A and B are shown apart, each in its own frame.
Chain A
Amino acid sequence: MSARSAAQRIRKAIAVVNAVADGAGDEEITPTEIAEAIRDCMELPEVAAVPNVRKYLGEALDATSDGMPADFVAMTLYAALGALQEGLPS
């Protein structure tokens, strides 16, 4: 799994959360599905290799379990994505 794939997986989690926030009207996404998408990201070795990424993903997971608004979860995932991109070798 490359760093690019790790970023894609975080983007996928963001898209799931955004679909809840924007209300596409074509799917019912449960907090469990959001949590699964975030856990999928946390399993990647790249996440452990770059500082703060796992921390932000953990915060996003906690926010999901605490029932925080989707925008808050999305913002935390964006922070994880940003940290991943900043921490990657250019």
Chain B
Amino acid sequence: MRSAEGRGRTLEEAVDAALIELGETRRNVDVRVVRESPDETVVEVTVMDASAASGASPVNGKAETVRTLLEGLLKHMGVRASVQVRAGSDPITLDVTGRDLGALIGWRGETLRALQSVTNVMVGKHLNEGERVIVDVERYRQRREHTVREIALRAARQVKMTGDAITLDAMQAFERRAIHLALEGDPDVTSSSIGEEPDRRVVVGPRKPADA
């Protein structure tokens, strides 16, 4: 897999710098934030190799079984789409791609979330205890995770400048998780959640000395 390091003032700029170096689009890459400071963001951008994904099937028969089951489900639903196993993903992540798959994502990813639940119930007997499969359509989930991570870093910068806590919009569990993970290593800010599902929100606030 090819990867490149990108640097910029913002996450957006850093990702763009790496994409230019790789000659790739955002659709085909995975982004990892290496370092984040008020002056500079450093990211590692890795190209997701589709051929490597399909080539992984002999190594991971379980992933291939799961992929076939989801492909069959989509066929029964009358959805024309291809399913690939995301290379090197743990847990197993299935990427669904095709044309006009907006209906498969639904409002705020609701249909996608339902599809993931059904898929996990279908493939449960092929998985180990506690193991789950992630379903992504047109990389919606990955893009949302990147977006909320960006929001989290922006909120953290603002909290550091003002010292005031910020309450973000209501988010789904996987989005809140992405925010907590993005900020867990920051010594100056802390994140917590308030409210009840489905209106649960993340609050980003300054880390008190006792928290550190």
Contact = CB atoms under 8 A, between A and B. Distances in A.
Contact of A26 (B121, B193, B198): B193
Given A75-B117, A75-B118, A19 B132 contact: no
A19 B197 contact: yes
Contacts of B117: 18, 21, 71-72, 74-75, 78
Contact of A75 (B121, B132, B181, B200): B121
A12 interface: yes
Query: Binding site of B, secondary structure by majority: helix, strand, loop or mixed?
Result: helix
Contacts of B121: 69, 71-72, 75
Given A22-B173, A22-B177, A26-B202, A16 B197 contact: yes
Interface of B: 113-114, 116-118, 120-121, 124, 132, 172-174, 176-177, 180-181, 191-193, 196-198, 200, 202
Nearest to B197: A15
Interface of A: 11-12, 14-16, 18-19, 21-27, 69, 71-72, 74-75, 78
Given A25-B176, A25-B181, 13 more contacts: A15-B172, A15-B197, A16-B197, A18-B113, A18-B117, A18-B173, A24-B173, A24-B180, A26-B200, A69-B120, A69-B124, A75-B114, A75-B121
B207 to A, nearest CB: 16
B172 A26 contact: no
Contacts of A75: 114, 117-118, 121
Given A12-B197, A25-B177, A18 B120 contact: no
B129 to A, nearest CB: 10
B113 A27 contact: no
A31 to B, nearest CB: 15
A26 B192 contact: yes
Contacts of B173: 15, 18-19, 21-24
Given A25-B176, A71-B121, A12 B198 contact: yes
A10 B50 CA distance: 38
